[in-house]
Structure 1
Amino acid sequence: MTLRPLAAWLCLLGIQAAVAAQSPQNPSPMVEHVREHPRLEKSEPSGKRENLTLGKLFVPVAVERSPVSEPVPLVINFHCGDWIPELACSGLASPLPCVTIGLGAGSERYARPFREDPGLFAKLRDEAAKEIGRPVSKLILVGWSAGYGAIREALKNEALIGDIQAVILLDGLHTGYVGGKPGPKESSLETEPMQPFLSFARRAVAGQCKFVYLHSEIFPGTFASTTETADWLIRELGLKRVPVLKWGPMKTQMLGETEAGGLKIQAFAGNSAPDHVDLLHALPEVLHETIQSRESGVEVK
């Protein structure tokens, strides 16, 4: 290549880079044809359903008819719909009652009720216990996508934190960028909103609880991605990702994992809407592994 064509090519490359830097992030593709994206079959498990002050309680028939009067864990699901959490909780070896809360799009919709009323979690727990007919021992909090907003408020609640035995985040933990946009290379994140998750993650590493975080490769562009927030947590904890190539739940493809004590962070391939939904449909398997696993020495009781 002569100097003149080379200079022209470099100039064109520079123009393309400048245009790309100024362009807004495109939305994630709504279809994806490389992976299978299987879906759970929708069904309505047998059991009791009651509306609470916020959300709906489901008590699997095995729990409803149990003669046992011992305290039972309660699974509270945010932005996960109704039937998938119900399938997940009724399908456990020892089924658990669950509450499902859907408040629409955006993490702020989930955060606001619990920020405005810090006693709301305790109220829901007490209402559920009354309907179950047994005391609630511990809380297992599950959030898909925007549902993390409510979980953040729970983790900030000092009166509640000791009752939270496990947190499961399914492709949902975001924050803003310092300056309002991603950097040209490594982005600077607004870290204050993530401090409650970091504190809980430290407790998980110490074996005091469980924290499971599954994320895709979706990059929103206007706020930090789940990959970036996971990377930040891992760095702050002094841990590292282990690159892997293996199958995950619902035929997802796992690319990396980090495990320490009761902490598990897993990265999955895909930047499309179906990849995002894959991790919601993975809930039954993820919940089973979180509750049944004894490898970390932390058992949800």
Structure 2
Amino acid sequence: MRRFVTACLLLVAALEAGAQGAPPAPVTVPPAAQNPSPMDESTRAHARLSARELGGQQRAVAGPAGRTVELWIGHRTRKRGHYALVIHFHGAAWLAQQAVADLRDGTVAAVINLGAGSGAYDRAFADPAVFDSLLAAIDRDVSQVLGVSTQADHITLTGFSAGHGAIRRILREPRHRDRVQAVLLLDGMHTSYIPEGRVLALGGSIDSTNLTAFADFARRAMRREKRFLVTHTEIFPGTFVSTTETADWLLHAVGLRRAPVLAWGPRGTQRLSEVRAGRFTVQGYAGNSGPDHTDQYHAMPELLRQLLK
């Protein structure tokens, strides 16, 4: 018995010694999120527009969440009872105003910046009355400049990156969706994974709550009742759904499939895919870096003309 106990003690000691000397189990480190990729690349031109004098009048109007709406009213805006309006969300005001000025048809531009993240834009328009108040404030200011009572009768909403958050919230309200004639999303249609942060490759799914209003608008554009243009890059954020994945979801929801293309886009961008149906268009562009993302905003003049032509 004494020998048996001694043998057991020796065995335990040996096992403990072996465990202490064993190499630690390898730790799997999850890949870093790309938001966008930090890669420095020079494949594409990344040409940038420069601000220029537009003439007309620059105005400041009180907007949602205590922010200022930067309004531009050009010389071509006619003194009559109605006018066309482009409301842009997120990005330097001069660029969006310049894109509207290039239409050369008297369209008025209003630019709103509400901070970082689509949530800030979404929350600002959670109450449908906020959009009503915004339109009323713009109408009052345009009427004052023109010297006649006038009202926006053709409304286009454009959003770069996080700015899509305002548009998705506005379009959820049926009467606002009826009033908006056209939408342009520039590399900015995101949503969350379910569960939060779990990408599709690891079994996650797409939270479509923020996308259903876009699907409805796309169907109406396919029937030529509206105009809708969506662009996206190849950026994979990792922590939330990419614009490529949301575009794929949207196309599946409306029964369309993209086709591969090789074509030049504005400012040296490279278009890799496209699908058109009625007045609904989705275009995919090369690139997963920060400059590729910014390229989409600097392409706004050409893309806005394409949307409204």
TM-score (norm 1): 0.86
Query: Counterpart in 2 of 1:150?
Result: 166
Residue 61 of structure 1 aligns to a residue whose secondary structure is: coil
C-alpha distance in structure 2 between counterparts of 1:61 and 1:290, whole Å: 23
Query: Counterpart in 2 of 1:137?
Result: 153
Structure 1 position 187, deviation (Å) = 5.0
Decide whether the 8 Å contact of 1:30 with 1:274 is kept in 2.
no
Structure 2, unpaired ranges of 5+: 1-24, 64-68, 144-149
Say whether residues 1:42 and 2:56 are aligned partners.
no
Say whether residues 1:243 and 2:264 are aligned partners.
no
Decide whether the 8 Å contact of 1:152 with 1:196 is kept in 2.
yes
Query: Counterpart in 2 of 1:74?
Result: 85
Structure 1 position 160, deviation (Å) = 1.3
Choose 164-173 or 129-138, whichever is displaced more: 129-138
Q: Which amino acid aligns with 2:153?
A: S
After superposition, the C-alpha distances for 1:243-293 in whole angstroms (9 at most, x for unaligned) are 00000112110000011011000000000000000000011111111112x
Choose 163-172 or 91-100, whichever is displaced more: 91-100
Please provide the CA RMSD for this pair: 1.9
C-alpha distance in structure 2 between counterparts of 1:72 and 1:26, whole Å: 42
Structure 1 position 95, deviation (Å) = 3.1
After superposition, the C-alpha distances for 1:67-102 in whole angstroms (9 at most, x for unaligned) are x41411110000022101111111113131011001
Query: Counterpart in 2 of 1:86?
Result: 97
After superposition, the C-alpha distances for 1:144-188 in whole angstroms (9 at most, x for unaligned) are 000011001110112211110000000001111112210327852
Q: Following superposition of structure 1 onto structure 2, how do residues 96-111 of structure 1 map, counting pairs within 5 Å?
A: 96-111=107-122
Decide whether the 8 Å contact of 2:191 with 2:246 is kept in 1.
yes
Structure 1 position 42, deviation (Å) = 1.6
Decide whether the 8 Å contact of 1:81 with 1:101 is kept in 2.
no
What is the aligned counterpart of 2:300 among 278, 283, 300? 283
Structure 1 position 103, deviation (Å) = 1.2
Structure 1, unpaired ranges of 5+: 1-14, 293-301
Q: Which amino acid aligns with 2:70?
A: K
C-alpha distance in structure 1 between counterparts of 2:92 and 2:249, whole Å: 29
Identical pairs, percent: 39
Choose 178-187 or 271-280, whichever is displaced more: 178-187
Q: Which amino acid aligns with 2:138?
A: A
After superposition, the C-alpha distances for 1:105-148 in whole angstroms (9 at most, x for unaligned) are 10011111210x31121222122222222221021000000001
Residue 228 of structure 2 aligns to a residue whose secondary structure is: strand
C-alpha distance in structure 1 between counterparts of 2:50 and 2:62, whole Å: 29
| Structure of higher CA gyration radius | 2
